[in-house]
Homo-oligomer: A and B are copies of this chain.
Amino acid sequence: MISLADIQQRIEQGALSPDGAIAQALEAIRVQDGTIGAFVRHDQRARAQDSGPLRGIAVGIKDIIDTADFPTEMGAAIYRGHQPRADAPVVMALRNAGATIIGKTTTTAFAANDPTATRNPHNHSHTPGGSSSGSAAAVAAGMVPLALGTQTGGSVIRPASFCGVAAIKPSYRLLPTVGVKCFSWTLDTVGLFASGVRDVARGLAAMTGRPALVVPAHIAAPRIGVVTQDFAGAPEPSGAEALQRAARAAEQAGASVRTLAMPEMVAEAWRIHPVVQDFEAHQSFAWEYGRNHDAMPPLLRGRLDQSRGGTPLDYDAAIAVAARARLALAAVFDEVDVLLTLSAPGAAPEGLSSTGDPRYNRLWTLMGVPCVNVTALTAAGGLPVGVTVIAPFGADARALAAAAFVEDALRA
C-alpha cells in the first residue's frame, strides 16, 4: 500500500515530485487494475496540482458520488453514461485541498447488495466487500493512497476490514452527502480509505479544514470498552480472534480494557435499522423502482419488493428508538473513551456473488458515531480481519487517535 503521510513527507522533502506521485498511482493502476477491477474509469492524463496539503495525492471516488469530469453511473444500468453537471462538495473539498481525482471506483449497484466484479487484492477468489468495493480494493492494492466511499449499513468499514485497509466512517454529516446518490438520508455517510489510520486522519483533516483530526505524536492510552454485539449473533472464529487480539494488544500497550454490555435500547436500535433504511430507500429510489423496475439491480429490487408497505407510523417509531438509543449510547461514554468491536463476522467470504454481512456495522451508522477500521490479523488465505474503534458523536479526533493507538499496539 501507499501511505498518504509518506507521500506528503517525501514531497515536502523534495524526494518526490507531486507529478511523480500521481504517475506512480497511474502506473500501479495500469499494472494492477486489469486483475483487481477497482476502477470504473480513470484519467490517464491526470496531473498533480501545484499546492495544497493533498498535492500529489491521487484519489479514487466511489461511483455514486457526482463528478463533473467523469460520468457517475451508480454501478447501475439505469445510470449508464450519466454525466452530472457538478462535482459533489466532498469532491470539491479534495480538489480545494490540492488532491487529484484520478478516477471513479466500482460500487455495488446503488450502493446496495448487487456485487461488482472487483476482486479482493489479498485473495482474488474472495470479495473485497461492498458497497464501496473499488475504493477499498484500490487502496489495498496500492493503486491510490486515498479513496472515498459511503456507508448506509456497513459499506465503508466492512470492505476496509476485508481488504486490510484503514478507514473512517466519520460522524454523521461531518462530510456532506450533497451530490451523493441517496439510499437513506438518515444513514448515508461519506467515508475515507487509506493505508493506515494516520493517513486516513490526514486526508479527513485536509478535506474538512480541521487540523485537530491529525493524530498527535503522543497518544494518551485510552479507556476501551469491548463490545461483542451479541444482539447481532456470534462472529466467526477469525472475527472473534481479531477482537481479542486487538483488545489484548491495547491492554499490553497501557490501555484500560473492559467488556461492556450495551443498554437494551441500543440493541433495539440495531433491530430497527432496516425499518429506517427500507422506508427511506423506497422514497430515495421511487423513480428507479417505479419507472425502471425491470432494469433495477435484482438484489436491491428484491429487497424493495419485500419491504413494500412499511408505514409512516412504523418509521416514526423506529426514528424515536434511534433517538433514545443515541442518548443511551452517549451515557456509555461516561465510563470509557472509546468502544472496540467487530468490523465483520470474519474474513472476506469466498466468491464474488456476495459482499458479506454488515450486521456488526449497521448499529453504529444509525447512531451516527465515528467508526475507524484497524487491521487486527491475517486469517487463512492471506485475508485480513479488522476491528472497529468507536467514539462519541462528534469526537472524530478521539476515534482516530485511539484507533492509531490500537494500530500501533497491534504492530508492536
Contact = CB atoms under 8 A, between A and B. Distances in A.
B178 A92 contact: no
Interface string A75-93: 0001100100111010111
A89 B288 CA distance: 10
B92 A85 contact: no
A142 to B, nearest CB: 30
Nearest to A292: B86
B68 A290 contact: no
Interface in A167-181: 173, 176-179
A93 B287 contact: no
A340 B394 CA distance: 35
A68 B82 CA distance: 13
A290 B92 contact: yes
B85 A286 contact: no
A284 interface: yes
A82 B68 CA distance: 13
Contacts of A280: 176
A68 B283 CA distance: 15
Chain A interface size range: 35 or more
Contact of A283 (B85, B178, B288): B178
Nearest to A313: B210
A312 interface: yes
A291 interface: yes
A182 interface: yes
Contact of A284 (B178, B209, B316): B178
A44 interface: no
A121 to B, nearest CB: 32
A85 B93 contact: no
Interface string A171-202: 00100111100100100000000000000000
A208 interface: yes
Nearest to A72: B85
A32 to B, nearest CB: 31
A210 B312 contact: yes
A256 interface: no
B176 A287 contact: no
Contacts of A85: 78-79, 82
Given A85-B79, A176-B280, A286 B209 contact: no
Interface in A75-121: 78-79, 82, 85-87, 89, 91-93, 95-96
A158 B218 CA distance: 54
A120 to B, nearest CB: 32
B79 A287 contact: no
Contacts of A92: 283, 286-287, 290
21 contacts: A68-B291, A78-B85, A79-B85, A82-B85, A86-B288, A89-B283, A89-B284, A89-B286, A91-B287, A92-B286, A92-B290, A93-B286, A95-B290, A96-B286, A173-B185, A176-B185, A178-B185, A178-B284, A179-B182, A208-B312, A316-B394
Interface of A: 68, 78-79, 82, 85-87, 89, 91-93, 95-96, 173, 176-179, 182, 185, 208-210, 280, 283-284, 286-288, 290-291, 311-312, 316, 394
Given A79-B85, A87-B286, 7 more contacts: A86-B287, A89-B286, A93-B283, A173-B185, A176-B182, A178-B182, A208-B312
